[in-house]
Amino acid sequence: MRRLTLILLLIVAAPARAEDLVSGISQDVIQITSNYTGTSIVVFGAIERPLGSDGRDIVVVVRGPGTDMTVRRRDHIAGVWVNADAAKLVGMPAYYYMASTKPLDEIAPAADLTRYGIGVEHLTPQQIASHHDPKPFQEAALRHLEREGLYTEAPGSIDFLSESLFRTRVPVPAGVARGQYNVEVYLFRGGQVVSAQSTPLFIDQTGLERRLFNFAHNSPLIYGLAAVAMSILLGWISSVLFRRPA
Amino acid sequence: MEIYLPVAEMSVHWMVIIGLGVTVGFVSGMFGIGGGFLLTPLLVFYGIPSTVAVGTTLSHVTAASVSGALAQWRRRAIDFAMAGVMLVGGLMGTAFGVWLFAIMRRQGQMDLIVSVTYVLLLGSVGTIMLRESLSSLRAARSGETPRVRTVNRVWMAGLPFKMRFRQSRLYISVLPPMGIGFTIGMLGAIMGIGGGFIMIPAMIYLLRMPTNVVVGTSMTQIMTITAITTLLQATNNYAVDIVLGGLLIIGGVIGAQLGVRVAGKLRGEQLRLLLAIVVLTVCAGLLWGLVARPADVYSLSMGMP
């Protein structure tokens, strides 16, 4: 929430500083259809005063909808690996992608990056429920998410097409959560955020998939009956088709 | 071609799913079982969330047992009284299992309990079948008639609520079949299995039912229980994926026919030996997962635990 306020403030304050950042995305709705195997979007933009005396850096962050994550640790108890301890991380983005013009530690100090939630290691959950030190659990969660391709950092992956035009491609893998995503573009000068823009991106199921999902969740009883009917019907058809003399 | 599963919310390759269906259908057609005990672990291994794997396997087992039960019904090989009594126990077991499922999920010990139960169950059933089929094979080779071992039935004779089961030619207490039904209903709710591979030996060795009605009766009971459990899983856990289920069933139907053909060429004890090997292999794989050091001792689950 604080981050959002900051972004809003910056957007409002931007014209006053004569520091114009304009950005857009190639599509603002991604529809998951029956043959969806992942796609990518292009985030592009322009900065008005291309090269100042203190350089310029662009950071693009794509944040998925907030979700809760449970991290469990297994211990070796009586010869068997058993879930022994757990921590719950509340309000973590389900997807996170960061692209920048150069490595983050060369762009801004860690405290600023944490304030804006830029960079996987600077992400903090809204709340942590844990009996013990949550640090190893948090690290394990990030490790898993990076391995599964849900959290990605791509420093140096923003292309400048001219002095002022930039572009980067953000992958949207097949297994991403549905919901509202935010595409944030930050302009840094001399280690400071001088301008930022946030654009929503919606990822949702569509067509038959959408209807089936809604059907399963809105009228589960009828859906369940339909599933059972399908099983009985297919079972019956197969017994008739392959009927053999007893 | 990839297909997006609306409830599991993930993309799968339809060939892989049909292939899984064919494989499991082959095993079930060959041995006259539902094959749920193979399908659930295979689906989880492929990356389907375990709740959806359990729920959808149940719909697959329903279809397989409807098909099997109809074939047996045409041969008049179903003891409906026995199936009914087991069903009463089975419904209580299912309700208990669904309740247990929720508690274990809250404790975060779901996977452990499911794995341990699988290992114990598959290990013991597999070992019994292996020993029995090996001794039958040995007896057949030396030309003796295989001696059928009788289980001590004295404890059963003393139980109340006796009932006549005409088709099975039995006059026994309803408690043991209800107990078997209860156990299998409970396991079915937790593990997404029909339980044929436990129920058939239990009917033969514990209840001493005649073999010709065992398969039909167990399929009738499994068909009813899995249909009800599918419904419960769909309404309580939103765990049934109709697209995944449909693909599995189509593959399963084809596989089952192949399995039945192959089974016709083999003798009973050879079949049981093969099934014992399949069961023990699955068991060994699950046991390895329990005792081997995991690549990462931390695991992550998204959304609700």
pLDDT digits (tens, 9 = 90+) for A202-214: 998 877 878 888 8
Predicted pLDDT at B155:
63
- pLDDT level of residue A14 (50, 70, 90 thresholds): very low
How many domains does one find in chain A? 2
Let me know if B126 is exposed, middle or buried by CB neighbors in 10 A (0-12, 13-18, 19+): buried
Predicted pLDDT of residue B136: 83
Identify which of B238, B294, B300 has the shortest CB distance to residue A217. Answer: B238
| A228/A107 same-domain check | no
Give the pLDDT of residue A83.
80
Q: Which of B6, B232, B300 sits opposite A141 (nearest CB)?
A: B300
φ, ψ of residue A223 in degrees (nearest 5)? -60, -45
Q: Give the C-alpha separation, A95 to A123, whole Å.
A: 12
Residues 196-255 of B with CB under 8 A from A: 227, 230-235, 238, 240, 242-243, 245-246, 249-250, 253
Q: What is the pLDDT of residue A244?
A: 59
Mutate to test the interface with A, among B50, B57, B58, B67 (most CBs of A within 10 A): B67
Q: Which two tokens stand for residue A65?
A: 């909808």
Beta bridge partners of A129: A88
What is the model's pLDDT at position B98? Answer: 79
Do A223 and A141 lie in one domain? The reply is: no
Q: CB neighbours of B189 closer than 8 A, spacing ≥ 6?
A: B93, B94, B96, B97, B98, B100, B101, B229, B232
User: Which tokens go with B11?
Assistant: 């993309």
- Contacts A243 to B, Cβ<8 Å: 71
Mean pLDDT of all residues in chain A?
84
For A41-76, how does the pLDDT look when each residue is reduced to its tens digit (9 = 90+)? 999 999 887 666 667 889 999 999 988 888 888 888
Q: Give me the pLDDT at residue B31, please.
A: 77
* Cβ-Cβ contacts under 8 Å, A172 against chain B: none
Q: What residues does each domain of chain B span?
A: 2-143+152-291
Tell me, what's the pLDDT at A16? 42
pLDDT in tens, A120-159: 888 888 888 888 888 888 889 999 999 888 999 999 899 9
Residues 6 or more apart in contact with residue A174 via CB below 8 angstroms: A36, A37, A38, B2, B10, B11
* B293/A36 CB distance under 8 A: no
- Examine the domain organization and report whether A188 and A168 are in the same domain: yes
Closest listed residue to residue A22, CA positions, set A156, A174, A187, A178: A187
pLDDT band at A95 (very low <50, low <70, confident <90, very high): very high
A202: amino acid identity, one letter: F
A145 with A236, same domain? no
Contact A210/B6, CB-based, under 8 Å? yes
DSSP B77-118: ---HHHHHHHHHHHHHHHHHHHHHHHHHHHHT-HHHHHHHHH
- Please choose, from the candidates B202, B245, B247, the residue with its C-alpha nearest in 3D space to the C-alpha of residue B227: B245
Beta-sheet pairing, B170-173 with B10-13? unpaired
pLDDT at A7: 59
ipTM surpassing 0.90: no
- The C-alpha atoms of residue A83 and residue B280 are separated, in whole angstroms, by 25
What would the two tokens of residue A69 be? 């994550």
A221 with A183, same domain: the answer is no
Compare all CA atoms of chain A with the CA of B234 and give the residue at the minimum distance: A224
Write down the pLDDT at residue A19: 63
- Between residues A169 and B77, the one the model is more confident about: A169
CB contact under 8 A, A37 and B246: no
| Residues A43 and A32 both lie in one domain | yes
Owning domain of residue A72: 2-205
Are A193 and A112 members of one domain? yes
Integer angstrom CA distances of residue B89 from B158, B197, B229? 20, 18, 14
Residues A216 and A117 reside in one and the same domain? no
Please give the Cα distance from A65 to A93 (Å, whole number): 5
> In terms of domains, do A46 and A101 share one?
yes
Residues A118 and A136 in one domain: yes
Distance CA B109, CA A83 (A): 7
The single-letter code of the amino acid at A39 is: T
Q: CA-CA-CA-CA torsion for B50, B54, B60, B63, nearest 10 degrees?
A: -170
CATH of the domain at A111: 2.60.40.3880
Locate B239 and state its tokens. 């765990």
pLDDT by residue, tens only, chain B of 305 residues: 778 888 887 888 889 999 999 999 888 888 777 788 888 888 887 888 878 888 899 899 899 888 888 888 888 888 898 999 999 999 999 889 878 877 877 776 777 777 788 888 888 888 988 888 888 888 877 766 555 555 555 566 677 778 888 788 888 888 888 999 999 888 887 777 778 878 888 888 788 888 778 888 888 888 898 898 888 888 887 889 999 999 999 999 888 888 888 877 877 778 888 888 988 988 898 888 888 887 788 888 776 43
Whole-number Å distance between alpha carbons of A64 and B212:
58
